[in-house]
Amino acid sequence: MKIKVTKENCTGCKLCQQICTIEHYGVVNPKMAAIRVTGEFPEPGVFTPKLCVQCGACARACPFDAIERRDDKVYVINPETCTNCGVCVEACPFDVMFTHPDAPTPIKCDMCLKCTEVCNTGALTVEE
């Protein structure tokens, strides 16, 4: 299972970012969202949602083996072993992992699928 992104359907509302931070941190702070919605300016109204594709580059780069692959093939950060060193962020080939001063570990999508539940345009859907 993965999240399918249909960028043509994205309106830039950023509800996905809001639900992501509510689900994971209990706050509305889009700067901490594991999904990014970027505007493709100068064209007005063109937005691109970006999130982790679960390639595993971060796990291979982690010097502390703090990123583990679950049975559903999703890579998650273990907060007990993560030192927040940022090596995984540098290794991410899609530039979707990042650190935030209010987060105890780097931020990456864990496929909770909450974003697909609030996306009412079809830009984010679940794909088997």
Domain boundaries, the chain: 2-123
pLDDT tens-digit readout, 85-100: 999 999 999 999 999 9
Rounded CA-CA distance 110/52 in Å is 8
pLDDT band, residue 40 (cuts 50/70/90): confident
Q: How many CA atoms lie within 13 A of 19 on its CB side?
A: 15
- End-to-end CA gap in the chain: 4
pLDDT band, residue 128 (cuts 50/70/90): confident
pLDDT band, residue 16 (cuts 50/70/90): very high
Domain 2-123 sits in CATH at 3.30.70.20
Residues 6+ apart with CB under 8 A from 2: 53, 54, 111, 126, 127
DSSP H or E run through 75: strand 75-77
Rounded CA-CA distance 53/64 in Å is 22
pLDDT band, residue 45 (cuts 50/70/90): confident
What pLDDT shows up at residue 90? 98
Closest-CA residue to 101 (of 35, 50, 21, 32): 32
Q: Which two tokens stand for residue 61?
A: 């780069």
Say what percent of the chain tops pLDDT 70.
Answer: 100
Query: Any idea of the CA torsion for 28, 29, 34, 36, to the nearest 10 degrees?
Result: 110
**How much is the mean pLDDT over the chain?**
95
Pairing mode, if any, of strands 75-77 and 36-39?
A: unpaired
This prediction has a pTM of: 0.90
